[in-house]
Chain A
Amino acid sequence: MTNESEKEAASNEPKEAKRLNQIMLGLAGLCVLFAAWDLAMNFFRAGTDDLFLILTALMLAALFAIPPAMAARARAKAERAEGVEEEHALEVHAEAHGGSDRQNVFVWGGLLALTAFEVFLAYEQVNLTLMLIILMGASIIKAALIVAYFMHLKFERLSLILTIVPTLVVLLCLFSILFPDSRRARVLRPPHSVEHVEGSSGEK
């Protein structure tokens, strides 16, 4: 449905596509508003649950914003198409299998530097929560570098990128729906549960 509307967006945007993009933008705005409302009203009173709710709302907003952004991109491309020669030169450049050996060596150096930084942090014994946040940030940057340059995804067609990356990000984020439970499991566990389980192993 969106495919066809986007296809024609470049030349003269039909009415339906325009409406669809407006609806999508509206939904994205609603999601952002919901996140802001939750932040203002609760301000992480429920801890990780609130964090999850806000992240999910922002993620949905980003997803809804993709089709209008694509349409805007197509329109800008169509407007730029007057300078045809430049456009052609750009495409030829993108076609040239992007990513020279030199660039890949630079990426490798960057990955090594990030790893060294991580190990240094572990050596310095930073506070565990801060450490987890920094390490996950560094790992996500490293993963992005590997996927973009080594796995060549940066130089693939946008439709392939948009098929793979948002799907994975959303699915992995949805795993965290279970995560707030881990805190509750700790509180709900009866006291001395370890001894209890060991003593009555025959019961279960």
Chain B
Amino acid sequence: MAEATVQAVPAAETLGTNDWGGGTFPYRVGHRKLGMWLFIMSDSLTFGALLFAYSYARFSSDNWPTPFKFSPSITFSTSMTLVLLSSSLTMVFAVSAAKRRDRKKARLWIFATMLFGLTFVGLHLKEWMHLFDEGLTPFHLPAEWAEKWPGASPLFGSTFFGITGLHMFHVITGVCYLGVIAARIRKFTADDVEVSGLYWHFVDLVWMFVFPLIYLLSVDMTNR
């Protein structure tokens, strides 16, 4: 199957298509990859809308809590960022191994990616537990925070748990997706591995915006 598509593309190229001309393969990608790109476009609009709503709520509030202490919260979220970036690198290796038809290595790299993804979810849940312990819920601020930041909007909890929760859901979905690809890698082509890689990198990319906007702009440095 993989051989067929790889052969077909250069054959279509000889039909004399150019960048705008279209022809048999207007984008020179398969339908799965094009579909994944379209999904990524729509999904980035979902996250974009959420992040804009968060910025709007923050900008129009009289006060906004900046509760993330450097020592548990920021160190946790920074290491989560490193873990997610590294998982993207292992996914790149998985895709290039799959392209070399080295299925065993591709499967190992995918397993490494899943491990990093699960580490991310674990760290994130631990980080959520810190906030639950302080008394933050999606709809109420802890009493101490309301005193410390008078007039602070209770939307803090809903935006925080909404955005990071949706992102975590994407990570968990991605781990399941990669698990299916790794378990049945003999049935899948290199293209399928690459498409799953696109999804995984997208999840990484979203975190590159969530991390600075949610965490780094709400650091509490009053008592380091």
Residues of B close to A163: CB separation below 8 A: 27
Q: Say yes or no: A157 contacts B28, CB within 8 Å.
A: yes
B37: nearest chain-A partner, CB-CB? A164
Residues of A close to B211: CB separation below 8 A: 115, 118
Q: Say yes or no: B216 contacts A122, CB within 8 Å.
A: yes
Residues of A close to B49: CB separation below 8 A: 175
List residues of A (81-122) whose CB comes within 8 Å of B's CBs.
Answer: 97, 101, 104-105, 108, 111-112, 115, 118-119, 121-122
Task: Say which residue of B18, B19, B22, B86 sits within 8 Å of A108 (CB atoms).
Answer: B86
Q: What is the CA–CA distance of A151 and B61 in the complex, to the nearest angstrom?
A: 37
Q: Say yes or no: A176 contacts B52, CB within 8 Å.
A: yes
With A118-B212, A139-B212 known as contacts, the answer to whether A185 contacts B89 (CB < 8 A) is no
Q: Say yes or no: B29 contacts A112, CB within 8 Å.
A: no
With A139-B212, A156-B29, A186-B62 known as contacts, the answer to whether A151 contacts B78 (CB < 8 A) is no
Q: Of A24-32, A37-45, A55-63, A166-174, which stretch is located at the interface?
A: A166-174
Q: What is the CA–CA distance of A146 and B207 in the complex, to the nearest angstrom?
A: 12
List residues of B (23-38) whose CB comes within 8 Å of A's CBs.
Answer: 26-29, 34, 37
Give the one of B34, B70, B89 with max A CB within 10 A.
Answer: B89
Q: What is the CA–CA distance of A183 and B99 in the complex, to the nearest angstrom?
A: 51
Residues of B close to A136: CB separation below 8 A: 212
Whether B92 sits at the interface, judged by CB under 8 Å, is yes
With A146-B88, A168-B41 known as contacts, the answer to whether A157 contacts B19 (CB < 8 A) is yes
* Interface of B (DSSP majority class): helix
Min CB distance B213 to A, Å, is 7
Q: Of B124-132, B167-175, B177-185, B198-206, which stretch is located at the interface?
A: B198-206
Task: Say which residue of A70, A143, A185 sits within 8 Å of B208 (CB atoms).
Answer: A143
Q: What is the CA–CA distance of A125 and B77 in the complex, to the nearest angstrom?
A: 17
A interface list, Cβ under 8 A from B: 2-3, 6-7, 10, 70, 74, 97, 101, 104-105, 108, 111-112, 115, 118-119, 121-123, 125, 128, 131-132, 135-136, 138-139, 142-143, 146-147, 150-152, 156-160, 163-164, 167-168, 171-172, 175-176, 178-179, 181-183, 185-186, 194
Taking A70-B20, A179-B59 as known contacts, 12 extra A-B pairs with beta carbons closer than 8 A to each other, sorted by chain A number, are A2-B20, A3-B22, A7-B18, A108-B88, A119-B216, A123-B219, A171-B48, A172-B44, A178-B56, A182-B55, A182-B56, A183-B60
B interface list, Cβ under 8 A from A: 18-22, 26-29, 34, 37, 41, 44-45, 48-49, 52, 55-57, 59-62, 70, 74, 78, 81-82, 85-86, 88-89, 91-93, 96, 99, 151, 194, 197-198, 201-202, 204-205, 208-209, 211-213, 215-217, 219, 221
